């Protein structure tokens, strides 16, 4: 039984989490394949900054790097199996405007790239670990922070679980859940590269060639018909497809001989990734279909005891009821599902415009989440 801990006031918690979040936002920690050296250096800056925050705490720190993507694991014992793992990512998506990396507060909101996804949540977990470090009896908990979630997560959480053997009974990943909801199910992810090949010719004599772009467009129309039509609704739970990237052509007066497209498929438990891939390939036999990323869906029971425990705590801190929901997006929770770790808590502070121009996070949620995660870990 842990002695009663006098945590700082809500104002003090908000100020400390806000300070850490602002520092993290200022680091341009996105991956740019055209500038690998800059990208790697920026990602490492987030790791080094995190290390400095624990200079006065007695913790074990392990650093890893996979495919130039660093990760850090902070714990109170040199081991790889814990009761709890706090999991977050410090990488972000690129921003069109440079000032997105200059944090600013407006009213109760903190603006900046990565504020909601998910540097504020990482700051909260850092704060929690620093408070846990003050306990005379340290809990069995580790903090994992990676830098490749926005690129798929295989070189971060995927690597640490698959190759380094990290395990837990319950993972806490504050990287999903709208309006503070607790997520019990997320879709699987399938990224497919489609390649069409034709024959080049002069643009004035297109009949002498075979247009790869036209070939690809017709194929994409066929593929779209394989998926259900859906309304604009956050409650939609079914397979979906998005054409995210398309490339082709070298000159306006030339028949293109090659064209490619990248599809982002999100799928439910009704089909497997392989079944979807096979269905697409059968529909467009003259198009090459290659899997780039395939990640399973995440699912836990709605009445999971860890989930219910966290839900009760966060409802008390927020002074209101919250929902248990399914979510269209995906997180690193899928890698825990892959290892048959079914107890994963996904819930986060309120935010808006993730990956967008006015990305922001709700500052008053910092203290309730910090207190909730702390209590969740120390409370039997």
CATH number at residue 228: 3.30.70.360
Rounded to a whole number of angstroms, the distance between the first and last alpha carbons of the chain is 8
Same domain, 267 and 346: no
Task: Using alpha carbons only, give the angle 97, 98, 104 rounded to the nearest 5 degrees.
Answer: 95
Residue 269 lies in a domain: yes
Q: Which of 295, 310, 330 is the last residue of a domain?
A: 295
Output DSSP code: residue 80: S
User: What's the pLDDT score for residue 329?
Assistant: 86
CA distances from 249 to 166, 194, 204, 218, 298 (A): 46, 15, 15, 16, 39
Q: Which of 240, 260, 295 is the last residue of a domain?
A: 295
What string of pLDDT tens digits covers the 380 residues of the chain?
555 678 999 999 999 999 999 999 999 999 999 999 999 999 999 999 999 999 999 999 999 999 999 999 999 999 999 999 999 999 999 998 889 999 999 999 999 999 999 999 999 999 999 999 999 999 999 999 999 999 989 999 999 999 999 999 999 999 999 899 999 999 999 999 999 999 999 999 999 999 999 999 999 999 999 998 766 665 678 899 999 999 999 999 999 999 999 999 999 999 999 999 999 999 999 999 999 989 889 999 999 999 999 999 999 999 999 999 999 889 999 999 999 999 999 999 999 999 999 999 999 999 999 999 999 999 98
pLDDT of residue 96: 86
Q: Which residues pair with 71 in a beta bridge?
A: 64
Predicted TM-score (pTM) of this structure? 0.90
* 3-class secondary-structure state, position 273: helix
CATH number at residue 49: 3.40.630.10
Q: How many domains does the chain have?
A: 2
pLDDT at residue 4 in the model:
66
Beta bridge partners of 30: 92
**Whole domain around residue 166: which residue ranges?**
10-186+297-378
Answer yes or no: do 228 and 350 share one domain: no
Asked if residue 266 is part of any domain, the answer here is: yes
Whether 281 and 176 map to the same domain: the answer is no
- Distance (Å, rounded) from C-alpha 352 to C-alpha 250? 39
The answer as to whether 4 is a domain residue is no
Contacts of 5 (CB under 8 A, 6+ apart): 131, 134, 135, 378
Last residue of a domain, one of 253, 274, 295: 295
Per the domain annotation, does 3 fall within a domain?
A: no
């Amino acid at each position: 039984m842990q002695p009663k801990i006098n945590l700082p006031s809500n104002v003090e918690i908000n100020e400390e989490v806000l300070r850490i979040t602002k520092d993290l936002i200022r680091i341009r920690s996105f991956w740019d394949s055209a500038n690998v050296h800059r990208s790697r250096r920026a990602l490492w800056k987030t790791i080094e900054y995190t290390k400095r925050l624990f200079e006065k705490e007695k913790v074990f720190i392990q650093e890893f790097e996979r495919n130039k993507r660093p990760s850090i694991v902070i714990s109170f014992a040199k081991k790889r199996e814990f009761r709890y793992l706090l999991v977050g990512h410090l990488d972000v998506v690129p921003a069109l405007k440079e000032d997105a990396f200059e944090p600013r507060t407006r009213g109760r909101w903190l603006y900046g790239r990565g504020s909601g996804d998910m540097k504020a949540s990482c700051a909260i977990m850092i704060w929690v670990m620093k408070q846990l470090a003050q306990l005379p009896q340290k809990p069995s908990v580790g903090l994992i922070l990676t830098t490749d979630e926005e690129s798929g997560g295989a070189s971060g959480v995927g690597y640490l679980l698959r190759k380094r053997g990290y395990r837990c009974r319950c993972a806490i990943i504050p990287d999903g859940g709208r309006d503070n909801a607790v997520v019990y199910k997320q879709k699987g992810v399938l990224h497919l590269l489609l390649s069409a090949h034709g024959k080049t010719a002069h643009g004035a004599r297109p009949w002498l060639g075979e247009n790869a772009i036209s070939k690809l467009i017709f194929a994409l129309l066929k593929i779209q018909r394989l998926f259900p039509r859906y309304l604009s609704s956050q409650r939609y739970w079914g397979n979906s497809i998005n054409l995210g990237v398309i490339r082709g052509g070298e000159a306006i007066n030339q028949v293109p001989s090659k064209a490619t497209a990248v599809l982002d498929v999100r799928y439910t438990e009704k089909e497997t990734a392989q079944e979807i891939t096979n269905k697409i390939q059968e529909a467009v036999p003259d198009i090459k279909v290659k899997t780039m990323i395939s990640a399973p869906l995440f699912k836990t029971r709605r009445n999971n005891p860890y989930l219910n425990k966290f839900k009760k705590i966060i409802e008390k801190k927020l002074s209101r009821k919250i929902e248990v929901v399914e979510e269209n997006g995906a997180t690193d929770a899928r890698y825990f599902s892959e290892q048959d770790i079914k107890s994963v808590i996904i819930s986060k502070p309120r935010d808006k415009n993730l990956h967008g121009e006015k990305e922001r996070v709700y500052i008053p949620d910092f203290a309730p989440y910090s207190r909730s995660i702390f209590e969740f870990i120390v409370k039997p």
